[in-house]
Amino acid sequence: MSGKVFNAGGRSYTITNRSGIVRSVERRGEKLVVNCAGSTRSIEMQNARVTAEDGNEWQISTGASFSVQPGTKVSVIFAAVDGGAPHAGLVRNADTGAIWWWSMNPLLPNFRWFFAALATLPVVWVAIWSFAGEASTRFALFAVLLSAVPVVIGMALRFLRRRKLTSVLRVEMEGMT
């Protein structure tokens, strides 16, 4: 087991590489919602129990396109943010070299305060409208739109930051294997 600590985007990331042997594989089907209209697609998943060289065991879930069998050696890269719980980032099949990536979302900054700011905009609009009176509703709407601009810019900057952190994490994780 090898590890590496690096700082990116104001956070400390600990990346750990663990190798092990697949002991058992269970295949299962799973339905995922693709869009809000209700259309779905079915994908096959597999759960594999992996035993590390030090005797510890863990479970990984991957898509059926990343096929492993009992006895296959795998390398799993885990990442933790600011000393938190590790999140599996990628699995590499040592025999074939195939890679399975998990979502990086648990490792990235979230958008919670942006959603809170957007939720307060109607309250700000009502407050401005009630103080301005009927004759000034046009200016109140303009003020609310101007107040939304910093929130939208902030969300765009956060989106770009998340994309940059994702690429940095992928490079660091690929460098560990």
pLDDT digits (tens, 9 = 90+) for 91-118: 888 888 888 887 777 777 777 777 777 7
Q: Beta strand 40-52 with 57-63: parallel, antiparallel or unpaired?
A: antiparallel
pLDDT averaged over the chain?
77
DSSP assigned state of 31: E
Tell me: pLDDT of 80 over 80: yes
Q: Are residues 58 and 72 in the same domain?
A: yes
Question: Global pTM?
Answer: 0.62
- Is there a single domain that holds both residue 76 and residue 154? no
Domain final residue pick, 55, 77, 103: 103
Residues 6+ apart with CB under 8 A from 96: none
Residue at a domain's end among 103, 129, 144 = 103
Q: If you average pLDDT over residues 64-69, what whole number do you get?
A: 77
Residue 21 domain boundaries: 2-103
Least confident interval from 53-62, 65-74, 121-130: 121-130
Distance CA 73, CA 96 (A): 10
Strand segments (E) across 64-177: 73-81, 87-93, 99-101
Measure the N-to-C terminal CA separation of the chain; round to a whole number of Å: 11
One domain for residues 13 and 80: yes
Same-domain pairing of 117 and 174: yes
89: nearest Cα among 15, 144, 151: 15
Residues 90 and 156 in one domain: no
